[in-house]
Structure 1
């Protein structure tokens, strides 16, 4: 079976499809809000703990170049997105900046999906990739706000930064990294059955709910017109190729390059929307959320992961 076919038949992806199907069938299928909140906390903390334990065994010299590659992507992607969306797609400054922030930042859930994808295929990758995830979440939002300010708008940069850095995802990821680095693999052994062996099951529940949310957001993406849908479909392969190439050039393994490519190809629908809501309330919030969640996220989940794996294998020779 092809990589794409294998990805489509994985339990998390099928659960995502089931959630989307429930909307088409007008079912009332939903995870209760407290359950969804608890599952999201579990997933973010689990990847933080695992990454921290691996980071504790990593030399700084091995991490430095990949970290620079991640920062370079977090700065470059929102710049070209901002100017491209304004010039070629006709978006105004607030909407272009908001979309640039969404697509320059990263999706923790997409990261979880690519890690599960690689684990299922026993493809090795560097343990410090969780640290790259945390490192890449905020820079693009800062860059997008600065671009909007340079274009003649005075945005609430401080409030937006506080929202990003103090948000749940950053707190859990960085906190988990620190705990994992302090305790190490031996110290985390007592909780390994909970945070390790049950991880895929919780991911299935999480993606079941996201399938419902994505399907309900599809109408917003369609109403925004073909320019938004085209951007949301074209950006991931381009960004994914850049991420894979920079990952391999920075010394990452093939699996690590797949993760960096996936992060570059992903779009934030948690941190970026929250920050943009504070900094640029005049931007159309439906644009970024619908494009990231209803178009880019399903693309990455079904076609993107095997595509970035194929890119890494091809470029690695």
Structure 2
């Protein structure tokens, strides 16, 4: 319990709660959109660049490939079973978008979790950054294929167009691009960028979480629309996937840092890449549902409860 309380009262989490409160009372507090976009790009670059540097010094072994296999397997399986649940209540396009959201991942959760590990002085493999980017794609594709499979005529949703949108996504480009840059950077260049990459990253994360808190606060009023089923999905799907992740990482003896990040990714949901792809490819999907549930239910749950809970469970298992 002390571990969880400590996490909730950390500065990034408190600033996130402040953003929710400010939005709830209709304060005029805001992070200007251009600055918000810059902070997002900065954090994505930092995590990608750092991952590339680590990847250059990583040794690829069986554990690495097992981790990647688990992640890709879950990014295919999760959209299928979430779709079957969501289809009971929502129209086909919206159910497909919800499925893609929960099969995909949250970059913000990954950034928060990696910062968490840094504070605990726990390392993780650079391949985890590449894995985060890779997990975005299968879930979106599966979501589109599920819509096509249940919809007539079958060519209503051209998935080749969706694929282009996925790979043109700014978050994917900056992540993979900075990963490659970090991989090929010289030690001198890495040292020169260190104050920019590590020196101010936590401060930027604070303002990013303030912005996310404001965004969550604005979407709280839409929670009534998603219904009880999506409240269950928004909390229990992360817990189910996290449980599967804990069991698999324990079974395959994956190290603590990689296990923790993998579980956080499996338990997260996308509210950046999926909306960007589905807004164009499937405009009839109800964004107020497939965006609100991950953003206003799953994201706060993971940040406030999930991340410390997953870490505590992994540490407890490791001590047995």
TM-score by length of 1: 0.95
Q: Is the 8 A contact 1:126 1:253 kept in 2?
A: no
Q: Match of 2:86?
A: 85
Using the alignment, how far apart are the partners of 1:223 and 1:248 within structure 2?
Answer: 39
Moved more, 225-234 or 268-277: 225-234
Deviations 1:257-314 (A, max 9, x none): 1111110111101100111112221111111110011110000000000111123224
Q: Is 1:68 paired with 2:69? A: yes
Using the alignment, how far apart are the partners of 1:247 and 1:147 within structure 2?
Answer: 29
Q: CA deviation at 1:235?
A: 1.2
Q: Is the 8 A contact 1:236 1:296 kept in 2?
A: yes
Q: Match of 1:18?
A: 18
Q: Is the 8 A contact 1:258 1:308 kept in 2?
A: yes
Using the alignment, how far apart are the partners of 1:195 and 1:236 within structure 2?
Answer: 30
Q: Match of 1:188?
A: 190
TM-score by length of 2: 0.94
Q: CA deviation at 1:185?
A: 4.9
Distance 1:13 1:68, change over 3 A: same
Distance 1:117 1:193, change over 3 A: same
Q: Is 1:9 paired with 2:31? A: no
Moved more, 221-230 or 259-268: 221-230
Q: Is the 8 A contact 1:53 1:185 kept in 2?
A: no
For residues 1-317 of structure 1, the aligned pairs below 5 Å read 2-61=2-61, 62-87=63-88, 90-153=89-152, 154-183=156-185, 185-316=187-318, 317=320
Q: Which runs of 4+ in 1 moved over 6 A?
A: none
Distance 1:166 1:251, change over 3 A: farther
Using the alignment, how far apart are the partners of 1:150 and 1:124 within structure 2?
Answer: 42
RMSD value over aligned CA atoms? 1.5
Structure 1 residues without counterparts, runs of 5 or longer: none
Using the alignment, how far apart are the partners of 1:184 and 1:14 within structure 2?
Answer: 38
